[in-house]
Chain A
Amino acid sequence: AAGVIQSPRHLIKEKRETATLKCYPIPRHDTVYWYQQGPGQDPQFLISFYEKMQSDKGSIPDRFSAQQFSDYHSELNMSSLELGDSALYFCASSSRGGGQETQYFGPGTRLLVL
């Protein structure tokens, strides 16, 4: 079965640079979520989109923005990167409109900021 696809899988950036992370949800899933997991930490919710509209917002820095496109893929844009942004970034998808509450996670993008 198709899973959530994230790209790139690994990314190295320098401080103050920008990064764009992409997420392709499971086909026919209408909801995308972004989570950040720091080293040794539990995943923290950043932002979610339902039917291409922002639905919920967590502890996402103002330097980050995200959107969901017409084909339901989503991008997380990160600017003015800081050392503390080094983390594993997960995208998850679900079919909320279909009454499915389970969130399926992608393999993550490991971001290292030097």
Chain B
Amino acid sequence: SQQGEEDPQALSIQEGENATMNCSYKTSINNLQWYRQNSGRGLVHLILIRSNEREKHSGRLRVTLDTSKKSSSLLITASRAADTASYFCATDPAWDGTASKLTFGTGTRLQVTL
């Protein structure tokens, strides 16, 4: 079953603007990860935020996590044409010391135009 819903499904902005994508999930998590995927290509890991963290930064990326609302947001500042891609959130359930699995959201398709 699908864990996450992402909002918006598609986003079109101009270069230099900020892009915000939201993700909601349903069950308890150990961490939440954001991935980028260029059309038909592999998934590139962007950032991981643990359930006991509220905000994390990595370069032009800022991720927030609100476990009480079961939601997360990804902010890309000063966007570039090269940021054009689909962005997925993925939740990792509580880890008991063995392998786990990621449940992906539906993804946001970001288009950055010049």
A interface vs B, CB < 8 Å? 31, 33, 35, 42-45, 48-50, 55-56, 58, 88, 90, 92, 94, 96, 101-108, 110
Q: Which of B30, B33, B99 contacts A33 (CB 8 A)?
A: B99
Is the beta-carbon distance between B104 and A55 smaller than 8 angstroms? no
B interface vs A, CB < 8 Å? 2, 30-31, 33, 35, 40-45, 48, 88, 90, 92, 95, 97-107
Instruction: Note all chain A residues with C-beta closer than 8 A to B2.
Output: 42
Q: Which of B35, B103, B106 contacts A45 (CB 8 A)?
A: B103
Query: What DSSP secondary structure best describes chain B's contact surface?
Result: loop
Distance to closest chain B CB from A2 (angstroms): 15
Instruction: Note all chain A residues with C-beta closer than 8 A to B107.
Output: 42
Known contacts A42-B2, A42-B105, A42-B106; A103/B33 CB under 8 A: yes
Is the beta-carbon distance between B99 and A31 smaller than 8 angstroms? yes
Distance to closest chain B CB from A41 (angstroms): 9
Is the beta-carbon distance between A107 and B105 smaller than 8 angstroms? no
Instruction: Note all chain A residues with C-beta closer than 8 A to B45.
Output: 102-105
Distance to closest chain B CB from A67 (angstroms): 14
Smallest CB-CB separation from B1: which chain A residue?
A59
Is the beta-carbon distance between B99 and A43 smaller than 8 angstroms? no
Smallest CB-CB separation from B50: which chain A residue?
A101
13 contacts between A and B (CB under 8 A): A35-B102, A43-B102, A48-B100, A50-B98, A50-B99, A92-B43, A101-B48, A101-B92, A102-B33, A102-B45, A103-B45, A104-B45, A107-B41
